[in-house]
Structure 1
Amino acid sequence: MAESYRYQQLESWLREGIVQRRWRAGDKLPSVRELCSTKQLSKATVQHAYQRLEAQGLIKAVPKSGYFVAASPSKRDSAPLHRKALNGQALRPVPVNTSAVVDDIMRRGAAFDLLPDLQGPDADSGLLALNRAVGRALRQHRQAAHHYYDAPEGNELLREQLALRYQRLGVAISSADLLVTQGCQHGLFLALMACCEPGDVVAVESPGFYGSLQLLSQLKLQVLEIPADPANGIDVNILEEQLARWPVKACVVTPNFATPTGAVMPAASRVALVELANRYDFALIEDDIYGDLGFRERPEPLKALDTQERIMLCSSLSKSLSRDLRLGWVEGARWRERIAHLKLITVLASSQYTQQGVADFIREGEYERFLRRQRLQLLTQRDQWAQAISEVWQDDVSYTLPEGGMALWVSLPESVDTLTAYNRALAEGIVITPGALFSTTTRFNNYLRISFAQPLSTKRHYALASLAAILRD
Structure 2
Amino acid sequence: MGGEYLYQQLEGWLLQGILDQRWKLGDRLPSIRSLCSEQKLSKATVQHALQRLEAQGLIEARPKAGYFVSLQPDGVKKPVSRARIEAPRPVSVSDLLLDIMGRSAAFDLLPDLHSGDLPPAIVALNRSIGRALRRQKGEDYQYYDKPAGFVGLREQLALHHAKRGWAVSPEQLCITSGCQHALFLALMASCERGDVVAVEAPGFYGVLQLLEQLGLRVVEVPTSMDTGMDMDALEEVLERWKVRACIVSPSFATPGGALMPEAYKKRLLALAERHDLAVIEDDIYADTALGRSPDPLKALDVDDRVILCSSFSKCLSRDLRLGWISGARWHDRILHLKLVTQLASSNYLQQGVSEYMADGSFSSHLRRQRHELRTNRDKLIASLHTWPEEVRTSIPQGGLSVWVELPGHVDTLSSYMRGLENGVIITPGPLFSVSGQFANCLRISFAHPWNASRKEALGRLPGLLLNA
TM over 0.5: yes
Partner of 2:350: 355
- For 1:292-441, what aligned pairs fall within 5 Å after superposition? 292-391=287-386, 393-441=387-435
Structure 2 partner of 1:103: 98
For residues 72-129 of structure 1, what are the alpha-carbon distances to aligned partners after superposition, in whole Å with 9 as ceiling and x for unaligned? 65652111152xx53xxx5210110000011111122111000133334422212111
Please tell me whether the aligned partners of residues 252 and 284 of structure 1 are also in contact (alpha carbons under 8 angstroms). yes
Tell me the amino acid that sits aligned with residue 424 of structure 1. R
Residue 58 of structure 1 deviates from its aligned partner by 4.5
- Contact 1:294 1:404 (8 Å CA) reproduced: yes
Within a 5 Å distance, the mapping from 1:4-403 to structure 2 comes to 35-36=32-33, 58-59=58-59, 75-82=75-82, 86=84, 90-391=85-386, 393-403=387-397
Q: Deviation of residue 429 (structure 1)? A: 1.7
Is the 8 Å Cα contact of residues 311 and 324 (structure 2) preserved in structure 1? Answer: yes
Contact 1:183 1:326 in 2 (8 A): yes
The aligned counterpart of 2:441 is 447
SS at the partner of 1:95?
coil
Q: Which amino acid aligns with 1:355?
A: Q
In 1: Cα distance, 2:298 partner to 2:404 partner: 30
> What's the offset of the Cα at 1:68?
11
Distance 1:212 1:236 in 2: 20
Q: Secondary structure at the match of 1:396?
A: coil
* Percent of residue pairs identical: 51
**5+ long unaligned stretches in structure 1:** 1-30, 61-66
Write the distance in 2 (CA, Å) between the matches of 1:229 and 1:302.
17
- Structure 2 SS opposite 1:348: coil
Q: Which amino acid aligns with 1:401?
A: I
Q: Do the aligned residues in 2 keep the contact of 1:309 with 1:333 (CA within 8 Å)? A: yes
Amino acid at match of 1:80: V
Residues 440, 41 of structure 1: alpha-carbon distance in 2 compared, 3 angstrom cutoff: farther
Structure 2 match to 1:4: none
- Structure 1 residues 471 and 69, CA gap change in structure 2 (3 angstroms): closer
Name which of structure 1's ranges 228-237 and 143-152 shifts more when overlaid on structure 2: 143-152
Q: Give the drift of 1:71.
A: 9.2
Match of 2:377, as an amino acid? R
Deviation at 1:175, TM superposition (A): 0.3
AA aligned opposite 2:353: V
Q: Deviations over 1:368-388 (max 9, x none)?
A: 000010111000000111112
User: Which of residues 438, 456, 472 in structure 1 aligns to 2:450?
Assistant: 456
CA distance in 2, matches of 1:427, 1:75: 34
What TM-score comes out, normalization by structure 1 length? 0.85
Kept in 1: contact 2:393–2:404 (CA 8 A): yes
Equivalent residue letter for 1:225: E
Contact 2:81–2:438 (CA under 8 A) maintained in structure 1: no
Measured after TM superposition, the shift of residue 70 of structure 1 is: 7.3
Question: How many pairs were matched up?
Answer: 423
Measure, in 2, the Cα distance between the counterparts of 1:427 and 1:68: 37
Query: Normalising by the residue count of structure 2, what TM-score does the alignment of the two structures yield?
Result: 0.86
In structure 1, distance between residues paired with 2:263 and 2:395: 22
Q: Give the Cα–Cα distance (whole angstroms) in 2 for the partners of residues 426 and 92 of structure 1.
A: 35
How far apart are residue 172 of structure 1 and its match? 2.7
Contact 2:401–2:445, Cα closer than 8 Å, also in 1: yes
Q: Deviations over 1:411-456 (max 9, x none)?
A: 0111111111111111222111110000012220110000000111
Q: What per-residue deviation string (whole Å, max 9, x for no partner) do you get for residues 1-46 of structure 1?
A: xxxxxxxxxxxxxxxxxxxxxxxxxxxxxx989x318x998769x9
Contact kept, 8 Å, 2:70 with 2:378, in 1: the verdict is no
User: What SS does the aligned partner of 1:77 have?
Assistant: coil
Structure 2 letter corresponding to 1:441: S
- Whole-angstrom CA distance in 2 between matches of 1:360 and 1:40: 45
- Measured after TM superposition, the shift of residue 57 of structure 1 is 6.5
- 1:224 aligned counterpart, secondary structure: strand
1:201 CA displacement:
0.3
CA drift at 1:321: 0.3
What is the CA deviation profile of residues 133-175 of structure 1, one whole-angstrom value per residue up to 9, with x for unaligned ones? 0000000121311111111111100000001111222213100
Alpha-carbon separation, structure 1, partners of 2:75 and 2:366: 25
Q: Give, in whole Å, the separation in 1 of the partners of 2:438 and 2:432.
A: 8
